[in-house]
A and B are shown apart, each in its own frame.
Chain A
Amino acid sequence: MKERLHDKSNAQQTQDPIYQVRNVSVAFDMDRGTSRVLDDIDLDIERGEILGVVGESGSGKSMFADSLLNAVVSPGQLGGEVIYNTEDGQSVDVTELTDEELRKFRWQEASMVFQGAQDSFNPTRKIRTHFVETLDAHDADIEDGMDRARELLSDLYLEPDQVLNSYPHELSGGMKQRTLIALSMLLDPEVIVMDEPTAALDLLMQQSIVRLIREIKGKYDVTIIFITHDLPLLAELADRLAVMYAFEFVEIGLTDGILEEPSHPYTRALLNSTPNIFAPVEDMTAIEGSAPDPVNVPTGCSYHPRCPMATDACVESDPGYYETNANHGVKCHYWEDVDNAIPLQVTADETRQVDVPAYGPVAMGTDRTPVLTLDDAEVHFESSQGLFAEPDAVRAVDGISLDIYENEVIALIGESGCGKTTLGKTAIGLQRPTGGSVSFRGQDIWDAKDGHGDVEIPHEAIRQSLQIIHQDPGSAINPNRTVRHTLELPLKHYNDELDMGDRQARILGMLETVGMTPPEDYADRYPHQLSGGEKQRVTLIRALLMEPDLILADEAISALDVSLRVEMMDLMLDLQEIFDTAFLFISHDFSNARYITEKSGGRIGVMYLGEIVEIGTVDEIINNPKHPYTKSLVWATPDLDETGENEDVPLRKIDIPDARNPPSGCRFHTRCPEARETCARKKPVLVGDGGNTHEVSCFRDVPNHEYWDSPELMNDEPSDETPTEK
């Protein structure tokens, strides 16, 4: 029964809307036409709910956030009505407010938390000043306000006085983000608009913050609009979801409804393209095509160029909202058919089979020599404070031993600052270890470089065999050189017997292999004429042209859009088979690490503060994590089939200790929920359980260890890891 809705308030049974958004558009006049970055939006927001807004980058979600506070940056033109209803029943149109009224409205009624908490504070003023001046600007009582600020900060697991006395740069990213949330709630607003508040943070921190947001929402009774590109994050947080595509909401409904019965083809594609830690690898697919240009939105349904179900009707008429049920609206003519047309990926609990990879774990039971061996490698960076002070050493890598075998894919994961990039660079000989050794097929890399002892493999050859792909392809390619020129250099340098024709043939062949066709066309482009994904392919080709034995991919897909990541990882794996290389894949994202290692039968290593705390095959790490830290990382990885909804954060403390002054004993004991007194005194070592690839460094893995008789660690031990310490 298709019923076209007449009332534009669409499928929302709101009783007491705090916001009524009507016909809101944002337009920018540009040379090539009017750019409509918000297109005739209608939406009601219920008082006290958490509304999740999800969409890809460039879908207009930030504009929606801005328009709620009438804070669209000029020259953007905000049109339509944004009605705000106060608690005592008054209604105001936010777009009609005078400057002074608007100044009061913002932060007292509705406030905002930005993605860039890193840049949301004035670097030259203390955090306290930010709070005080905000209170001052709104003529609030400073003393009461600061009491509230302290309470908010401690609710967010921060130490109020320490934070207030810090300068912004002295706080870590997660701390800044939480401080910004506290600042946004300072004047007791009714609504908080959060625009990608966790995007720049590690998963564990993201999850912790999401939990805190939910707690704080309950305590302070606010309405939250949470905007993100990350659907799984919302699954656990939001009461209702609004899916944004091409500058309008294509589907709105209760979170459960949308996740279980997504009715818009785009929502389904989005769900299918999200790497999910428990879903089978084969079912993940990228969304074909790209998001529309705001100047030139397709006629009819804006999704039709990418939609597999599109018909002429979709091109001709723009669908309105269809009601699938009382709480669920969708803008698609054929929403009743989507179930068959676009099946959802099989969910975890139905058919979770451990898929046997094409070949068994490489590391097991082979007596081959590894391609690369790290033996007790250490990298300590000294940040000396002067002539007389003991230099502070940041132990970026602290005694790591690791073998990487032929064709193996190893993924290193860990939070930012855990030393995974340094370890990667050490492995491929870009960073000289301050202790231990790094050897390539038995030849110590740095001996070869310095000419110590008998050099069996010349440094030049080692250099060629160990390559890197950087996180940001944009800055890794010379912007003034064509693709052809960029790719020619490695060939000229290491393979000078090739003549020009051979070189060209190889380059064009490679471009074609990675799907950049027609290759002749791409070869003559400059980097700015390529998309992010294409640039990353060029860097991948550049590394492969050296015919390396090991490639370090340092967060190589993190800069890409979610829907492109799976594609890029597939490509890396395809090429890995063709070219016979091993991969050291560094990521902060468990899902990506799982995807790439599971497909190739590789291993995952978990790093914490310069040490590998657990390493093993995908199956061992994901399904049977032994180290409490690995468990918390698995917990933090978004999971669409959220079961234990109200699980507590499996950590005693949210923030990572200072790497300059790591905790004694087991480094994780300050955050570990299982820590006992032994952990603070003794340091566990990485051990396997005999003939297995799975190694873990935790006393809990050792039966009969004194740990089991040791008393539990008290929470109020003196914190020796204040991050602001000078």
Chain B
Amino acid sequence: MNWYIRRTLQALLTVYGVITFTFVLIRIMPGGPMESMRAQLIQQHQGSLTTEDMERINRIVETRVNIDPDQPLYTQYVDYVSSVLTGDLGQSTWHQAPVMDLLIERLPWTIFLMGSSITLSFALGITLGAIMAYKEGTILDVGLSSYSTFMTSVPYYVVAVLLVYFLGYQWDYFPIQGRMAPQTTPGLNYPFLAGVAYHLVLPVISVVITGMGGRALAMRGNSVRVMGDDFIRVARLRGLKPRTIAIQYVGRNALLPMYTNLMLAVGFMFGGAIILEEIFGYRGLGQLMYSSIGNRDLPLMMGCFLLITMTVVIALFIADLTYGKLDPRVQSGERHESF
């Protein structure tokens, strides 16, 4: 049990480290975010600066990045950490709104988009991989393996652009952008949910058909390896039903190494979301981050950065805590750490 406590503390320490790192980035780096924001404001000011103007600019910078340069360094640090921990990530310069609110508004959409993409690509990839392993060496296996290898090497955004072009512009089957149908009210009503699902189709497809191949190949390899293990042979001799062997013996054990991969994929989903959301004009977190770079909206960029790191830390934390449930050999947690 104590391992869990240690693991939790470790996760908290990582989160704390990330916050500190963003502080260092903002405050200490020469020409860092604070400097450039000040320079930006000075440029916008036009005309000569009085001391008053300077003070005003400093105040603005201060509220936006949560750092008061007049305080001693450690006070600044404590202030910054405590405001981040209380959910105050500063003020977006472009949107003129708290970063936290912006993130919270976008977050569910991205989680929904990437969550369904990852779930689908894993589910399909694993099924396909298991089938390939069982048909090892047949035409089906060779064909699917070649297909998977090919699709893995195609970037998802290429597929995305093709999908938008053909299914969106040319044949008009699916909406080419947006995240919900117009004139629907968000909530648990059919028109809204149907619209959301409809808008989700193209982006999800482009991630799934490119991402699934790699999972399928990994699953195939794992399954083939497990099928060579002695306990499979013993299970066959014991007369177990092929279905039991396929699911409980081969599948279960071949899945184990995929689990950490899944959790890592969760961590990377925001990175992937940037381009995907841009292509489909999907107003999610990725698009927000992309535009913040374009707008030089530093507090917002910092907020996104923090959020992504937190997600990775939390995903790995969950992976570690639950891995023991999947594989009893690591129940004590001593020998397994996914990072």
Contact = CB atoms under 8 A, between A and B. Distances in A.
B21 interface: no
A568 B9 CA distance: 53
Indicate the size class of the contact surface on chain A. 35 or more
A282 to B, nearest CB: 41
A125 interface: yes
Given A123-B328, A124-B326, A169-B329, A106 B238 contact: yes
B259 to A, nearest CB: 12
Contacts of A387: 2, 5-6, 9
A386 interface: yes
Contacts of B244: 133, 137
Contacts of B233: 71, 73, 114
B311 interface: no
A180 B233 CA distance: 13
B198 interface: no
B238 A119 contact: no
B334 interface: yes
A389 B2 contact: yes
Interface stretch (B23-31, B61-69, B205-213, B248-256): B248-256
Given A114-B230, A385-B2, A107 B253 contact: no
A359 interface: no
Given A385-B2, A386-B1, A386-B3, A122 B328 contact: no
A389 B332 CA distance: 13
Interface in A158-216: 167, 169, 180, 183
B253 A119 contact: no
A385 B239 contact: no
B139 interface: no
B237 A112 contact: yes
B3 to A, nearest CB: 5
Nearest to A71: B237
B238 A107 contact: yes
A122 B329 contact: no
A82 B239 CA distance: 20
A726 B334 CA distance: 12
B239 A121 contact: no
Contact of A122 (B3, B237, B253, B332): B253
Interface string B311-339: 00000000000000011110010100000
A111 B237 contact: yes
B229 interface: yes
A103 interface: yes
A485 interface: no
A69 interface: yes
Given A121-B231, A123-B253, A167 B328 contact: yes
Interface string A104-126: 10111001101010011111111
A106 B239 contact: yes
B73 to A, nearest CB: 31
A107 B2 contact: no
Interface in B1-29: 1-6, 9
B334 A134 contact: no
B329 A103 contact: no
B240 interface: yes
A116 B252 contact: no
Nearest to A120: B234
Contacts of A114: 230, 233-234
A104 B238 CA distance: 9
A134 B2 contact: no
Nearest to B332: A726
A383 interface: yes
Interface centre among B6, B240, B249, B334 (most CB of A within 10 A): B240
A348 to B, nearest CB: 38
B238 A134 contact: yes
A119 B229 contact: yes
Nearest to A104: B239
Contacts of B235: 122
A385 B335 CA distance: 11
A169 B328 contact: yes
Interface in A475-501: none
Q: Interface SS of chain B: helix, strand, loop or mixed?
A: helix
A635 to B, nearest CB: 31
Interface residues of B, number: 31
Contacts of B237: 69, 71, 106-107, 111-112
A629 B332 CA distance: 33
Contacts of A112: 234, 237
Contacts of A119: 229-231
Contacts of A103: 239
A133 B5 contact: no
B239 A107 contact: yes
Given A103-B239, A122-B248, A137-B240, A388 B5 contact: yes
Interface in A82-136: 103-104, 106-108, 111-112, 114, 116, 119-126, 133-134
Contacts of B249: 122
B230 A386 contact: no
B239 A122 contact: no
B275 to A, nearest CB: 38
Nearest to A129: B248
B6 A386 contact: yes
B84 to A, nearest CB: 26
A652 interface: no
A264 B9 CA distance: 70
B138 to A, nearest CB: 14
A449 interface: no
A682 interface: no
A383 B334 contact: yes
Nearest to B330: A169
Contacts of B238: 106-107, 111, 133-134, 137, 183
Contacts of B329: 123, 167, 169
A554 B240 CA distance: 41
Given A114-B230, A116-B230, A124-B253, A133 B328 contact: no
A8 interface: no
Nearest to A126: B328
Contacts of B9: 387
B126 to A, nearest CB: 16
Contacts of A133: 238, 240, 244
Contact of A386 (B5, B327, B328): B5
A383 B5 CA distance: 16
A138 interface: yes
Interface string A384-395: 011111000000
Contacts of B6: 386-387
A114 B2 CA distance: 38
A137 B239 contact: yes
A726 B256 CA distance: 23
B334 to A, nearest CB: 7
Contacts of A73: 233
B80 to A, nearest CB: 29
Contacts of B1: 386
B234 A386 contact: no
Interface string A693-726: 0000000000000000000000000000000001
A499 B271 CA distance: 58
Contacts of A116: 230
A108 B238 CA distance: 9
A580 B258 CA distance: 54
A685 to B, nearest CB: 34
Interface centre among B229, B237, B249, B326 (most CB of A within 10 A): B237
10 contacts: A104-B239, A116-B230, A119-B231, A122-B248, A122-B253, A124-B256, A125-B248, A134-B239, A134-B240, A388-B2
Q: What are the nearest 8 A-B pairs in CB distance?
A: A386-B2, A119-B230, A167-B328, A103-B239, A116-B230, A120-B234, A169-B329, A137-B239
Given A122-B253, A124-B327, A134-B240, 5 more contacts: A71-B233, A106-B237, A112-B237, A119-B231, A124-B256
Interface of A: 69, 71, 73, 103-104, 106-108, 111-112, 114, 116, 119-126, 133-134, 137-138, 167, 169, 180, 183, 383, 385-389, 726
